[in-house]
Amino acid sequence: MSYEPRITTPLIFAYNTSSQPITTNSKLDLDSSLYQGDLSSNDLTQIKKSSTIADVKYTMSSSGLRSYTTVRADTTESVSRGFNVNGSGGGGNGVSDELSYSTFGPTALNIFCDPKFTSGITMNADYTRLSGVLLS
């Protein structure tokens, strides 16, 4: 795997720093973009093949619980799911302990987060990030 040599900015980076509530299988917003990609309807659109990773910094109302993050292109999901677990010391916040990664052709990418619990918890994405590189 290598980056596209003729592209002067082969890096992909999009993020959102606002707090977003996460309910069952929520699509997370990406409202700022650096380097390659156009943001439209909170999707990062790529015109080249790309390899990306996603992670989420979050808070939740209870500790000891978990969710998972996926990169999607429409209904196609990433190769792996990055699990979010509560922070150290029993706190109800943290970051993805395994990054969700994917390789897609030209497409619009987005991030979904699913708490994987039925009720009794409030979860917020405090910082959402999608980064990667364009592939040759």
1 belongs to a structural domain: no
Q: What does the pLDDT read at residue 75?
A: 82
Q: What mean pLDDT value characterizes the chain?
A: 79
8 belongs to a structural domain: no
Give the domain CATH number at 129: 2.60.120.760
35 belongs to a structural domain: yes
Domains held by the chain: number: 1
- Of 43-57, 71-85, 114-128, give the range with the top mean pLDDT: 43-57
User: Residue type for 128, please?
Assistant: T
Q: What does the pLDDT read at residue 89?
A: 42
22 belongs to a structural domain: yes
Q: Structural domain of residue 20, as residue ranges? A: 14-134
Across the range 59-87, mean pLDDT stands at: 73
4 belongs to a structural domain: no
110 belongs to a structural domain: yes
CA angle 73, 75, 80 (to 5 degrees): 70
CA angle 69, 36, 96 (to 5 degrees): 20
Q: For residue 66, which phi and psi values (nearest 5 degrees)?
A: -150, 165
53 belongs to a structural domain: yes
5 belongs to a structural domain: no
* Nearest CA among 47, 109, 103, 29 for reference residue 75: 109
| 80-122 residue pLDDT tens | 666 665 554 445 666 666 677 788 888 888 988 887 765 567 7
Across the range 36-51, mean pLDDT stands at: 84
